[in-house]
């Protein structure tokens, strides 16, 4: 593989709101999502799969009786731990389903039913009788059981940090904020459920598994499944042409993907399809752990921080470890000579937690930014002035200079736009009718990530057109559109001259649509391939010539800490009689490098703000520790913000370009919109009412109690 040193590209299409290149297919309904690919591998329609899941939280399966299920019309087979195909590798216990009689959490896959129709499969699954020998389980996160120290936290960073003498600095501080903040379990709930269609065939004497999967990364699914199935990577092909959102829950393959692969191995080539139900998405496809953040801030009377401590407690699953990096933004956000962070987990007999939009930053920045608001009140300072006084010269975490830290620019721009200067000192300064009215602000930050391991291929076609190929996925973000723009500008042609090929693991390798790293990672590879192509083949290439390349890191990148920043402003109205919270205005200003496509970027940032608003006001999964499962397992009981809740929400960005980070000048925008938003709303409700809420969501009871 050629590694190409990239040069900054001149924006021509970049920076314009090119229409979504797949917009027509989507709005006219001709875009096929995973299980809609009915016509694969010959004429037989796919069999439908239904998952039978455990009704106990921990124990052993003592029997599976499928006699009634198999007698049901349309049902063709049942697979359990005694009959499912064996796996070659079982290290990933979340994926290694049906290999033994152990049950690790309520809702785990214990059997599969195959049938001619989805209805018959569902009815058949209901008729499977599973008996268990139940064992005592632990399914409740508490301060006294979250004591386990993981080796690393997501994605692969230090569990604890400790610099200076936090205790001494707190003892000597003029002002101390010492509070505990809580965030609830949250579930990703993308619009399209997790869904997979798979079939096995033999090609040239080798088994080949083909899949359409609703995933954020086709290569990642191959890499997860192939070794477990005893296959080489080139024996698995995964495609994901259209994906109806993921928010992180489709970032890694979950158990349902393996269920389809195993079931399809038994059907002599007939395809098998599964769409996970909304209810099953509350146990099988990942979620955000609840968090408990113990925050202590020490400061002088002028608000200058002398100590920052953020000790996190949260949970993981005994089945597979996932440790959310909740205190990680605290490590780099504000200056303070003494700082300490830690993460401790309860290891519970529960479903496996995973990525959810801005894992770490979202719950961590809620805690940190509400604590900063409390410090501003304690010091009698405007919260923006408090942040000005704690702006670091260098990244407090690494000691490196920031690439382009424009947090204060975001705060100042937002303050102008929002009309911050007329804000009464408050709290409880404005009553309009039955509504207390207040405003709040919070910072946002998200690391800029460029993943290694991305390659792109440029091929000359007839008529001055080019195919540009990379195995990345567009999960609804607009990736297909912005990659087309990047390819066009890198090749110095029109976007209409580009045939972009993505979402197939046969294409050059690409990393996951996650960590807000997609555009940076894939776009840099495309620029590398385009520039090398031009060097090798010139401006008038022969049709058919092609170049594959990956982007070499800019050596200057070693010298900087790369982060994006933002400022979120919220107005909240709290009903004095009912405690209902409304957010009539929510405004975010971001520094995210160059924006490739203003329309799709705005959609990402506004979407993040809305998801943060939703987390602020509504989202909360309730686990019943007696049974170990989440009981709010539908969209009637798990509330997400709907149109009537989303009023004036807007996002804007600073004009800039981060050319050390990527040849496009962009940094990534998928997650930063959710960061800090719940804190801004919470801070606005304090300003409105004088009631400080230290646990999400901001339900009416908090305000009625006061
Ligand atoms: Mo995002 S939670 O990294 O898909």
pLDDT of residue 705 exceeding 80, the answer is no
Q: Is 671 a catalytic residue?
A: yes
Round to the nearest angstrom and report the end-to-end CA distance of the chain: 64
Q: How far is the CA of 359 from the centre of ligand 1 (A)?
A: 7
pLDDT of residue 38 exceeding 80, the answer is no
Rounded to 5°, angle at Cα 651 from 563 and 22: 90
> Is 255 in a helix, a strand, or coil?
helix
Predicted pLDDT at 147: 98
Provide mean pLDDT across the span 23-28: 96
Cβ count within 10 A of residue 464: 14
User: Residue 224 gets which letter from DSSP?
Assistant: H
Q: What is the DSSP string of 356-410?
A: -SSTTHHHHHHHHHHHHHHHHHHHT--HHHHHHHT--SS-TTT-SPBSS--HHHH
Predicted pLDDT at 346: 98
Q: In which band, very low, low, confident or very high, does the pLDDT at 43 lie, cut at 50, 70 and 90?
A: low
Do 617 and 681 touch, CB atoms closer than 8 A? yes
0.85 cut: is pTM over it? yes
Q: In which band, very low, low, confident or very high, does the pLDDT at 44 lie, cut at 50, 70 and 90?
A: confident
* pLDDT, tens digit (0-9, with 9 covering 90-100), for 583-617: 999 999 999 999 999 999 999 999 999 999 999 99
Starting at the edge strand found earlier in the chain, the sheet holding 466-469 runs 2-4, 546-551, 456-460, 466-469, 498-501
Do 694 and 432 touch, CB atoms closer than 8 A? no
CA distance 131 to 64: 6
Look at 38 and 558; give whichever has higher pLDDT.
558
Provide mean pLDDT across the span 196-217: 97
The protein residue with its alpha carbon nearest to ligand 1, atom 4, reads 248
pLDDT of residue 339 exceeding 90, the answer is yes
Cα dihedral 238, 240, 244, 250 in deg (nearest 10): 30
Do 60 and 103 touch, CB atoms closer than 8 A? yes
Predicted pLDDT at 360: 97
Provide mean pLDDT across the span 97-105: 98
What is the residue-averaged pLDDT of the chain? 97
Provide mean pLDDT across the span 415-443: 96
514 lines ligand 1 (CB under 6 A): yes
702 lines ligand 1 (CB under 6 A): no
Q: In which band, very low, low, confident or very high, does the pLDDT at 41 lie, cut at 50, 70 and 90?
A: confident
| Nearest ligand 1 atom to alpha carbon 515 | 3
Q: What is the 3-state secondary structure (H, E, C) of 19-63?
A: CCCCHHHHHHCCCCCHHHCCCCCCCCCCEEEEEEECCCCCEEEEE
* pLDDT, tens digit (0-9, with 9 covering 90-100), for 113-134: 999 999 999 999 999 999 999 9
288 lines ligand 1 (CB under 6 A): no
Domain with CATH 3.30.365.10 in the chain: 2-31+453-552, 383-451+559-706
Question: Could you give the percent of the chain with pLDDT greater than 90?
Answer: 97
Provide mean pLDDT across the span 338-344: 98
Selected from 3.50.50.60, 3.40.50.2300, 3.90.660.10, 3.30.365.10, the CATH number assigned to the domain covering 383-451+559-706 reads: 3.30.365.10
* pLDDT, tens digit (0-9, with 9 covering 90-100), for 367-406: 999 999 999 999 999 999 999 999 999 999 999 999 989 9
Catalytic residue among 186, 309, 571, 671: 671
Cβ count within 10 A of residue 161: 17
220 lines ligand 1 (CB under 6 A): no
Q: In which band, very low, low, confident or very high, does the pLDDT at 40 lie, cut at 50, 70 and 90?
A: confident
pLDDT of residue 631 exceeding 70, the answer is yes
CA distance 372 to 386: 8
Cβ count within 10 A of residue 130: 19
pLDDT of residue 435 exceeding 70, the answer is yes
| Nearest ligand 1 atom to alpha carbon 357 | 2
pLDDT of residue 703 exceeding 70, the answer is yes
Q: How far is the CA of 249 from the centre of ligand 1 (A)?
A: 7
| Nearest ligand 1 atom to alpha carbon 516 | 3
> Is 306 in a helix, a strand, or coil?
strand
CA distance 383 to 29: 48
Cβ count within 10 A of residue 133: 12
The tokens describing 5, both together, are 């040193």
The tokens describing 22, both together, are 């797949």
> Is 139 in a helix, a strand, or coil?
coil
> Is 488 in a helix, a strand, or coil?
helix
Provide mean pLDDT across the span 402-414: 96
422-445 in b/e form (b: 16+ CB < 10 A) is: ebeebbbebeeeebbbbbbbbbbb
Phi, psi torsion values for 264, nearest 5 degrees: -65, -20
* pLDDT, tens digit (0-9, with 9 covering 90-100), for 250-262: 999 999 999 999 9
Q: How far is the CA of 247 from the centre of ligand 1 (A)?
A: 6
CATH second-level architecture of 2-31+453-552?
A: 2-Layer Sandwich (3.30)
Provide mean pLDDT across the span 235-247: 98
Q: What is the DSSP string of 423-466?
A: --S-SS--EETTEEEEEEEEEEEEE----S---EEEEE-GGG-E
Predicted pLDDT at 557: 84
């Amino acid at each position: 593989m050629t590694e190409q040193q990239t040069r900054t590209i001149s924006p021509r299409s970049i920076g314009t709101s090119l229409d979504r290149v797949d917009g027509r297919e989507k709005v006219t309904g001709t875009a096929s999502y995973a299980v809609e690919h009915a016509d694969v591998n010959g004429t037989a329609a796919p069999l439908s799969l239904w998952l039978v899941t455990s009704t106990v939280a921990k124990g052993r399966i003592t029997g599976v009786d499928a006699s009634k299920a198999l007698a049901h019309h349309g049902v063709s087979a049942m697979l359990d731990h005694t009959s499912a195909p064996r796996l070659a590798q079982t290290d990933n216990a979340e994926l290694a389903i049906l290999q033994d009689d152990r049950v690790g959490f309520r809702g785990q896959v214990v059997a599969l039913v195959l049938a001619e129709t989805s209805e018959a499969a569902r009815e058949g699954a209901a008729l499977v009788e599973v008996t268990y020998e139940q064992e005592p389980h632990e399914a409740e996160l508490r301060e006294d059981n979250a004591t386990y120290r993981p080796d690393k936290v997501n994605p692969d960073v230090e569990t604890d940090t400790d610099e200076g003498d936090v205790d001494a600095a707190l003892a000597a501080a003029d002002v101390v904020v010492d509070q505990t903040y809580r965030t609830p379990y949250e579930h990703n709930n993308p619009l399209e459920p997790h869904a997979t269609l798979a079939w096995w065939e033999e090609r040239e004497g080798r088994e080949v598994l083909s899949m359409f999967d609703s995933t954020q990364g086709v290569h990642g699914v191959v890499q997860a499944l192939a070794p477990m199935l005893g296959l080489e990577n080139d024996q698995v092909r995964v495609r994901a042409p259209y994906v109806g959102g993921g928010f992180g829950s489709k970032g890694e393959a979950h158990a349902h993907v393996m269920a389809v692969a195993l079931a399809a191995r038994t059907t002599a080539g007939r395809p098998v399809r599964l769409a996970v139900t909304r209810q099953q998405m509350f146990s099988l496809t990942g979620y955000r752990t609840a968090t408990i953040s113990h925050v202590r801030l020490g400061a002088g009377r002028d608000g200058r921080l002398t100590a920052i401590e953020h000790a996190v407690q949260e949970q993981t699953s005994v089945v597979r470890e996932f440790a959310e990096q909740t205190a990680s933004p605290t490590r780099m956000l504000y200056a303070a000579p003494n700082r300490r962070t830690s993460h401790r987990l309860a290891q519970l007999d529960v479903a496996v937690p995973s990525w959810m939009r801005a894992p770490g930053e979202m719950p961590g920045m809620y805690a940190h930014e509400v604590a900063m608001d409390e410090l501003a009140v304690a010091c009698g300072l405007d919260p923006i002035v408090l942040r000005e006084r704690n702006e670091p010269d260098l990244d407090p975490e690494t000691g490196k200079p920031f690439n382009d830290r424009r947090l204060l620019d975001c705060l100042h721009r937002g303050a102008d736009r929002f009309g911050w200067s007329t804000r009464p000192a408050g709290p409880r300064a404005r009553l309009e009718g039955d509504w207390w009215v207040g405003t709040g602000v919070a910072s946002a930050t998200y690391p800029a990530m460029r993943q290694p391991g991305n390659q792109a291929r440029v091929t000359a076609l007839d008529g001055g057109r080019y195919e540009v190929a990379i195995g990345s996925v567009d999960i609804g973000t607009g990736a297909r559109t912005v990659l087309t723009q990047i390819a066009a500008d890198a090749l110095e042609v029109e976007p209409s001259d580009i045939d972009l090929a993505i979402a197939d693991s046969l294409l050059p390798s690409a990393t996951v649509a996650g960590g807000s790293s997609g555009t940076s990672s894939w776009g840099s590879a495309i620029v590398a391939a385009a520039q090398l192509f031009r060097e090798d083949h010139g401006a008038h290439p022969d049709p058919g010539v092609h170049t594959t390349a990956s982007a070499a890191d800019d050596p200057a990148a070693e010298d900087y800490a790369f982060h994006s920043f933002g400022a979120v402003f919220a107005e909240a109205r709290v009903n004095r009689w009912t405690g209902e919270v409304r957010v009539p205005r929510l405004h975010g200003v971001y520094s995210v490098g160059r924006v490739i496509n203003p329309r799709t970027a705005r959609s990402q940032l506004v979407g993040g703000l809305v998801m943060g608003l939703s987390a602020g006001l509504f989202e909360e999964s309730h686990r019943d520790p007696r049974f170990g499962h989440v009981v709010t397992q539908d969209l009637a009981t798990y509330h997400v913000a709907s149109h009537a809740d989303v009023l004036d929400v807007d996002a804007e960005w600073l004009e800039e370009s981060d050319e050390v980070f990527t040849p496009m000048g962009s940094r990534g925008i998928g997650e930063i919109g959710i960061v800090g938003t719940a804190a801004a709303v919470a801070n606005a409700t304090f300003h409105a009412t004088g009631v400080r809420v230290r646990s999400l969501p901001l339900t009416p009871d908090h305000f009625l109690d006061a």
